[in-house]
Amino acid sequence: MFDVIRWSAERADAVPDVRAKRFLMDHGLPDGSLLFEADHEESSAFATDSGAEVMSIGSFDEDFNFFVDINSGEVLFGLDQDTAPSFTNSSLADFVKCLRWVDDEFPFYSSEDDSAVKSAAGSRALEFFRSVDPECVSTADAFWASFVHDVGIGDYYAGAL
């Protein structure tokens, strides 16, 4: 199964959203997955251009991070200390469901598969994400919408990552 990082009550006190706080303490975040590596250290909240207060929960790679809006529980994506992060999921629970599905499904095809196979994989991903959190694929700049596009054009084959 997946190793998880559960937040202590003290660390989770920085998150006023009750659902998000409970999720972080009771269920936790995957320590690592194909698209996410959890922060082990506590981070400070900062304000976005829209006035949301967010804090880092983990990274996608060396440049991009995932954040939780500490008042709404939404998950966002952007550069470190990004004041205009893009939407990822409506909740931490939905975020983790999406991450685990990707880990279970990868690789989506082989590098030799034709464009029809790759497009079908993108359609499957879109269908799954819509079933979990319709908002996560409702705009082109959302993290999962971008991921669906990348799957559909052939970026997620065995050996690509």
* pLDDT of 58 over the 70 cut: yes
Tokens read off for 38: 């959890």
pLDDT tens per residue, range 11-55: 999 999 999 999 999 999 999 999 999 999 999 999 999 999 999
Q: Of 161 and 88, which is predicted with more confidence?
A: 88
DSSP reduced 3-state for 29: strand
Question: Residue 56 — pLDDT band, cuts 50, 70, 90?
Answer: very high
Q: Which two tokens stand for residue 146?
A: 């971008």
The single-letter DSSP state of residue 48 is: -
| Count of other CB atoms within 10 angstroms of residue 117 | 15
| 3-state secondary structure string across 75-133 | EEEEECCCCCCEEEECCHHHHHHHHHHHHHHCCCECCCCCHHHHHHHHHHHHHHHHHHC
Q: What are phi and psi of 158, to 5 degrees?
A: -55, 130
Which one-letter amino acid corresponds to residue 121? A
- Alpha carbons 12 and 111: distance in angstroms, whole number: 42
Give this prediction's pTM. Answer: 0.95
Mean pLDDT of 56-64: 96
Q: Residues 115-139: pLDDT tens digits?
A: 999 999 999 999 999 999 999 999 9
